[in-house]
Amino acid sequence: MARSERTKTDRTAETRPGEQAPNPVWFKPIMFGFMLVGLVWIIVFYVSGGSQLPIPQLGSGNILVGFGIMFIGFLMTTRWR
């Protein structure tokens, strides 16, 4: 053959000018991990009676910590490609 043909994977792997490269493999598990850890943090807080776990000194601040961790995961969704 005189001309070379590209495979489908070659065409999808290249990026065009103005396009951003796809996310690394670790991005999606970390993103969902943050969301799940925040959810588990809040569940543990409520199941423990609201004052004993995960960090007793924070008291109701544990809810803010849980939502903060989940918020990091949700912020990561805006960068997901």
| Domain membership flag for residue 16 | no
Indicate the pLDDT class of residue 4, thresholds 50, 70 and 90.
low
What is residue 31's predicted lDDT score, i.e. its pLDDT? 93
| Domain membership flag for residue 48 | yes
Please say whether the dihedral angle defined by the alpha carbons of residues 45, 48, 52 and 55, taken in this order, is positive or negative: negative
| Domain membership flag for residue 63 | yes
Domain enclosing residue 45, as ranges: 35-81
| Domain membership flag for residue 20 | no
Name the packing angle between helices 61-77 and 27-47 (round to 10°).
160
* 4-7 CB contacts, 8 Å cutoff, 24+ apart: none
Hey, what are 24's tokens?
């690394």
| Domain membership flag for residue 10 | no
| Domain membership flag for residue 8 | no
- pLDDT tens across 29-73, in order? 999 999 999 999 999 999 988 777 888 888 889 999 999 999 999
| Domain membership flag for residue 18 | no
User: What are the E-state strand segments in the chain?
Assistant: none
pLDDT at 79 > cutoff 90:
no
Our count of domains for the chain comes to: 1
